[in-house]
Chain A
Amino acid sequence: MAKETKRSGSSGGKQKPAVIIVGADKGGVGKTTVARTMLDYFAAKNVLTRAFDTESPRGTLKRFHPRVTEVVDLTQVADQMKVLDTLHTSEVKVSIIDVRAGLLSRTLKDMTDVGFFDAVENREFKFALFHVLGPSVASLSEIEDVMPFTENGEYFVVKNHINETNFFEWDQDTYDRYFKRSRRATHEISVPKLNEMAYEQVEIAGVPFVSFAQNKNDKNQKADYSLVLRGYVRTWEKAIHEQFDNAGLMDWATEGAQAS
């Protein structure tokens, strides 16, 4: 079980557990970056969150958020139990699963096999998929593959501009057609490009984006990061968090928490 943050949370008995999967079938599209911004987002909102990093055994997400992250192998039954069997019992109601590159479709199928999506359909859990897209047309076909799994959940398309790529600009109609075909609402998150030097320095620091922006090291002590780079990170993450807000992520994840 991943350790839980010490922040006061909006958890409670009537809040349904929320599972957020961040994934893509293509590598290098910035899944972990998105998961990291999401952990910062919920921490800023005082929502207790736990994370599972399926990049076993290395765990990039765990490197940046060690206190709330556990490395798991979701192809193993023991680890599937670790994640799914604890959803109801854990006080932490929001679980983020950062799925290793190339394993999204397989993970979703495995979760179907263990009855996860039946439970979602029965409203035992809430489920959201953050599908991080690459700029190629191959990513569009990924949408068709994964969308059926989100029938009873929420589907967020994430365009990560970390590489300053133009997404489908060459053929917006093709992109639109994929969504028209699905005849359902999707949320779109566009992750802006972060200054390369700032990104690199956060990597070196090995701390959450929010800690870097607050000039804190991994021991929560005052660090000596560049003010300019901290500013870039703060502005960048703020822009992403605003999009999470606009997409209703917070309301969705904590629905029922107020009643409790």
Chain B
Amino acid sequence: MSGKSLAILVVSPHERSGTTLIARLFADFFRIAGQAPLLFDTDAQRPKFSKYFPDATLVDLGTTKGRMSLFDTLPVRTLQPKVVDVTHRAYSDFFTLVRDIDLIAEARSNNVEPVIVYVPHYVADDFERGFRLRAYFDCEFMLAENAYLGPAPEELHRVNAYWALKAHPVRLQLPALDPMAISLLEDERVSISEFLLTSVPGYQPPPGERPPLPLAYLSFDARSKIRNWLKPTLREVQRAVHLVQTRQETPVSEPQPF
């Protein structure tokens, strides 16, 4: 195994695709695995991802300095994984810059493997875009299907790009979560990794520490719903990450039991 690391780029051409939630899941998965991922929120107008992770870097891709703070860090050789929540507003500019600066080659030369996690809506255009994205960039690609967005309509079955991406070997399938639980998870005070670790029955905070805030106000029912969604979802993230890590001969992230 080499000293490679992953740079997870969570992208969607549309808003309300769940990119921030997916980016959180990756970030929290790495944290549960005892790693300290470098996190980037590219939505300078309406930051969300960085609200959950105060140590995340907020990047304004509209400025040269902002672009440098992200793209000069992403290819840096480090064993820490990196997770970027790419706002839909910067989607085109982001990939234009990735192409122009040849980020993939630069990252590879530093043992960093970029992974494009693409979250489409169930419309033909999104699958065609994803298909072109996968063809253009010679790096790991992961199709993320968010059940929250509903089932694929019948007409999409006539689109070649849809079947091409559905057949992609690395996929991430997020199960649906009911709207009430979603609103709870969207609470900026809720940390997925802390929630999982502390919601285990019989959990006792380390001596001298108070239990994290989220559990203090969530009902037992709500906690149960979230936990029942989070566990299989994080296992799905774990499966997808392990698949990429195995393909890339990268050390496998081993999380604590959750």
Query: B101 near A230 (CB under 8 angstroms)?
Result: yes
Kindly identify, within residues 92 to 118 of chain B, every residue whose CB is under 8 Å from any CB belonging to chain A: 97, 100-103, 106
For the complex, count residues of B whose C-beta is within 8 A of A: 13
Query: A235 near B68 (CB under 8 angstroms)?
Result: no
Residue A71 lies at the interface, judged by CB distance under 8 Å to chain B: no
- When chains A and B are docked, how far (Å) is the Cα of A195 from the Cα of B100? 13
Residue B256 lies at the interface, judged by CB distance under 8 Å to chain A: no
Closest A residue by C-beta to B70? A228
Query: B101 near A231 (CB under 8 angstroms)?
Result: yes
Query: B72 near A232 (CB under 8 angstroms)?
Result: no
- When chains A and B are docked, how far (Å) is the Cα of A231 from the Cα of B97? 8
Residue A75 lies at the interface, judged by CB distance under 8 Å to chain B: no
Residue B195 lies at the interface, judged by CB distance under 8 Å to chain A: no
Kindly identify, within residues 48 to 84 of chain B, every residue whose CB is under 8 Å from any CB belonging to chain A: 64-65, 67-68, 71-72, 75
Q: Return chain B residues, CB-CB under 8 Å to A230.
A: 101
Query: A227 near B100 (CB under 8 angstroms)?
Result: no
Partner of B68 from A196, A229, A234 at Cβ < 8 Å:
A229
Q: Return chain A residues, CB-CB under 8 Å to B100.
A: 231-232, 234-235
Query: B101 near A227 (CB under 8 angstroms)?
Result: yes
- When chains A and B are docked, how far (Å) is the Cα of A198 from the Cα of B101? 13
Query: B72 near A226 (CB under 8 angstroms)?
Result: yes
Closest B residue by C-beta to A229? B68
Q: How far is the CB of B65 from chain A (nearest CB, A)?
A: 8
Q: Return chain B residues, CB-CB under 8 Å to A204.
A: none
Query: B102 near A228 (CB under 8 angstroms)?
Result: no
Kindly identify, within residues 170 to 207 of chain A, every residue whose CB is under 8 Å from any CB belonging to chain B: 195-198
- When chains A and B are docked, how far (Å) is the Cα of A196 from the Cα of B68? 13
Q: Return chain A residues, CB-CB under 8 Å to B106.
A: 227
Number of A-B residue pairs having CB atoms within 8 Å of each other in the complex: 35
Q: Return chain B residues, CB-CB under 8 Å to A196.
A: 64
Q: Return chain A residues, CB-CB under 8 Å to B64.
A: 195-198, 228-229
Closest A residue by C-beta to B97? A231
Q: Return chain B residues, CB-CB under 8 Å to A235.
A: 100
Closest B residue by C-beta to A235? B100
- When chains A and B are docked, how far (Å) is the Cα of A235 from the Cα of B67? 15
Partner of B102 from A195, A198, A231 at Cβ < 8 Å:
A231
Q: Return chain B residues, CB-CB under 8 Å to A197.
A: 64-65, 68
Q: How far is the CB of A232 from chain B (nearest CB, A)?
A: 7
- When chains A and B are docked, how far (Å) is the Cα of A234 from the Cα of B102? 10
Of B65, B71, B101, B103, most buried by chain A (CB within 10 Å of CB) is B101
Closest B residue by C-beta to A225? B72
Kindly identify, within residues 58 to 80 of chain A, every residue whose CB is under 8 Å from any CB belonging to chain B: none
Closest A residue by C-beta to B76? A227
Convert A215-257 into 0s and 1s, putting 1 for each residue whose CB lies closer than 8 angstroms to a CB of B: 0000000000011111110110000000000000000000000
Query: A226 near B97 (CB under 8 angstroms)?
Result: no
Closest B residue by C-beta to A196? B64
Q: How far is the CB of B38 from chain A (nearest CB, A)?
A: 16
- When chains A and B are docked, how far (Å) is the Cα of A21 from the Cα of B100? 31
- When chains A and B are docked, how far (Å) is the Cα of A227 from the Cα of B64? 11
Q: How far is the CB of B180 from chain A (nearest CB, A)?
A: 42
Q: Return chain A residues, CB-CB under 8 Å to B65.
A: 197
Q: Return chain B residues, CB-CB under 8 Å to A226.
A: 68, 72
- When chains A and B are docked, how far (Å) is the Cα of A231 from the Cα of B72? 11
- When chains A and B are docked, how far (Å) is the Cα of A197 from the Cα of B72? 14
- When chains A and B are docked, how far (Å) is the Cα of A227 from the Cα of B71? 7
Partner of B71 from A195, A198, A228, A234 at Cβ < 8 Å:
A228
Q: How far is the CB of A196 from chain B (nearest CB, A)?
A: 8
Q: How far is the CB of A9 from chain B (nearest CB, A)?
A: 28
Closest B residue by C-beta to A231? B101
Closest B residue by C-beta to A236? B100
Closest B residue by C-beta to A238? B100
Kindly identify, within residues 14 to 28 of chain A, every residue whose CB is under 8 Å from any CB belonging to chain B: none
Kindly identify, within residues 30 to 68 of chain A, every residue whose CB is under 8 Å from any CB belonging to chain B: none
Q: How far is the CB of A181 from chain B (nearest CB, A)?
A: 40
Q: Return chain A residues, CB-CB under 8 Å to B102.
A: 231, 234
- When chains A and B are docked, how far (Å) is the Cα of A195 from the Cα of B65? 11
Chain A residues close to B by CB (< 8 Å): 195-198, 226-232, 234-235
Task: List 4 additional contacts besides A226-B72, A234-B100; criterion CB under 8 Å.
Answer: A227-B106, A228-B64, A228-B67, A228-B72
Chain B residues close to A by CB (< 8 Å): 64-65, 67-68, 71-72, 75, 97, 100-103, 106
A-B contact pairs, 17 of them (CB 8 A): A195-B64, A197-B65, A197-B68, A198-B64, A226-B68, A227-B72, A227-B101, A228-B71, A228-B72, A231-B71, A231-B97, A231-B101, A231-B102, A232-B101, A234-B101, A234-B102, A235-B100
4 A-B pairs with the lowest CB-CB distances in the bound complex, closest first: A231-B101, A231-B100, A235-B100, A228-B68
